[in-house]
Amino acid sequence: METIEVDRHDGIVTITLNRPAKKNAATVQLWTELLAALREISRTRQDRVVIVTGAGGEFCAGADLWEPATDGPPQHGLAQMRHVGDVALALHRLPQPTIAKVRGVAVGAGCNLAFGCDLVVAGETARFSQIFSRRGLSLDFGGSWLLPRRVGLHVAKEIAFFGDILSATEAREFGLVNRVVADAELDGFVDAWATRLAAAPPIALAQTKRMLNASMSQTMEQALDDEGAAQTVNFGTRDTVEAISAFAEKRDPTFQGR
> For the chain (length 258 residues), average pLDDT per consecutive 10?
96 98 96 98 97 98 76 70 94 98 98 98 98 95 96 97 97 97 98 98 97 94 96 96 95 94
What's residue 72's pLDDT? 61
Q: How far apart are CA 81 and CA 73, in angstroms?
A: 16
| Structural class in CATH, domain 4-198 | alpha beta
pLDDT value of residue 69: 56
pTM for this prediction: 0.94
- Domain extents in the chain: 4-198, 202-248
- What was the pLDDT predicted at 81? 86
Strand arrangement, sheet containing 49-54: 4-9, 12-17, 49-54, 98-102, 119-123, 179-181
pLDDT, residue 87, reads 97
* CATH number corresponding to 202-248: 1.10.12
Task: State how far the Cα of 141 lies from the Cα of 110, in Å rounded to an integer.
Answer: 8
The string of DSSP letters for 213-239 reads HHGGGS-HHHHHHHHHHHHHHHHTSHH
